[in-house]
Amino acid sequence: METLPQTQANAVDQLPLKRIDHLEFWVGNAKQAAYFYRNILGMDWVAYSGPETGVRERASYVLQRNHVRLVFSTAIRSDHPMAEHVHRHGDGVRVIALEVDDAAKAFEVTTSRGARPVQNPTRVEDEYGHMVVASIAAYGDTLHTFVERHGYQGAFMPGFVAKDVKGPDFGIAAVDHIVANVELGQMNFWVDFYARVMGFSQLIHFDDADISTEYSALMSKVMQDGTGKIKFPINEPADGRRKSQIEEYLEFYNGPGVQHIALITPDILKTVAAMKEAGLEFLRVPATYYEQAKARVGEVKEDFAAIQELGILVDRDDEGYLLQLFTKPVEDRPTVFFEIIQRRGSRGFGKGNFKALFEAIEREQALRGNL
């Protein structure tokens, strides 16, 4: 584990982040995407913006379950930048929005440290109150938007109307971490960006000795804010005999972007069973994984037979253990996917599962003809 110099750690105090406010996906058909994710992840449809609300160029659907808020937006006309983004990348995460107490200050601090400005601080208001939003560029076409809510009482934000369409509740509670894939040689650039611009520190570094198989490898560094609540692992490919999962992503996404979103749950057995029943497809490791897992991890509170039946992975570190499972890509392009995770003290990322996990990913790559 590596920490940053004190001068960088002090920068956290100048840019306090409260939480991940929302993730916005730009998609080809938001109505259908929202229906899919509402039923596959177990969320409610809580807000809408589009032609019926006076917004002529786009439509957006807001889903929420506990502290997880996802927005699915689509262009109404083909000449909108959103349509070009989808043409280039397919459906994917455009905005990682961070709630702050002062969006103008967050914008000023980050741009003064070298972040590229995208949207100057903008006040938006309606009869329910006002908000301030501002955006900076991150890796690829991804944005970080600072959201200052001021106790806004309306539906999500001005321009949206409330919806009350219930979905199933599978138990997801919050976003645990968001993983970026970047090009070979660019991981340290973005590690420096989060340290220098946003005051993050490095939590963990995995090299190609940690994350490798017979065919491919990758490297990863995990950056976190001062509270430790917001964690952004950053991956880049490493030399291997065949195409790595990172290279496959970069090829089909046409550049860097969000690879996966980890959703934390207090009961992974219940959550995964419900998601599987709803039709969400998960990666599967060989049965031989479980022959060693029980001895490697030791005693756990969950029923180990149920863990094996559902294909859930288990890992332990000095602070406790975690349970995790990864979906297959949720788009036709092999790009974005989700991780479901339950923590029992561990703050790690499942290092002991890496080899089995990435071999499972490679089997899927081979089926797609991309290994």
Rounded to whole angstroms, how far apart are CA atoms 311 and 8? 41
Dihedral angle over CA of 28, 31, 34, 37, nearest 10: -70
CB of 284 within 8 A of CB of 360?
A: yes
pLDDT of residue 7: 38
Please tell me the distance from the alpha carbon of residue 179 to that of residue 342, in angstroms, as a whole number: 17
Are 43 and 68 in contact by the 8 Å Cβ rule? The answer is yes
Q: Hey, what domains does the chain have and what are their CATH numbers?
A: 6-165 (3.10.180.10), 174-368 (3.10.180.10)
- Which pLDDT value is given to residue 16? 92
Q: What pLDDT score does 3 carry?
A: 38
d(CA 210, CA 315): 14
The packing angle between helices 245-253 and 354-368, to 10°, is 50
Identify the pLDDT of residue 295: 83
Q: What is the mean pLDDT of the chain?
A: 89
Question: Which positions of the chain have pLDDT values less than 70?
Answer: 1-13, 206-217, 239-242, 350-363, 370-371
Q: Which two tokens stand for residue 186?
A: 């660019």
Query: CB neighbours (10 Å) of residue 228?
Result: 10
320 φψ region: left (φ > 0), alpha (ψ -120 to 50), beta (else): left
pLDDT computed for residue 357 by the predictor: 62
What residue type is assigned to position 371 of the chain? L
At 349 the pLDDT is: 78
pLDDT at res. 76: 96
> Which tens digit of pLDDT belongs to each residue from 326-345?
999 999 999 999 999 999 99
* pTM of the complete model: 0.91
Tens-place pLDDT, residues 204-249: 776 555 555 555 467 889 999 998 899 999 999 876 656 778 899 9
Q: What is the pLDDT at residue 245?
A: 83
Looking at residue 241, what is its pLDDT? 55
- The confidence score (pLDDT) of residue 371 equals 59
pLDDT score recorded for residue 364: 72
What's residue 6's pLDDT?
37
The CA R_g of the chain, rounded to the nearest whole Å, is: 20
Q: What is the DSSP string of 126-189?
A: ETTEEEEEEEEE-STT-EEEEEE-TT--SSSSTT-EEEEE--------EEEEEEEE--TT-HHH
Residue 81 CB contacts under 8 Å (≥ 6 apart), including other chains = 75
Task: State the pLDDT at residue 126.
Answer: 93
pLDDT at 286: 83
- State the pairing for strand pair 19-26/68-75: parallel
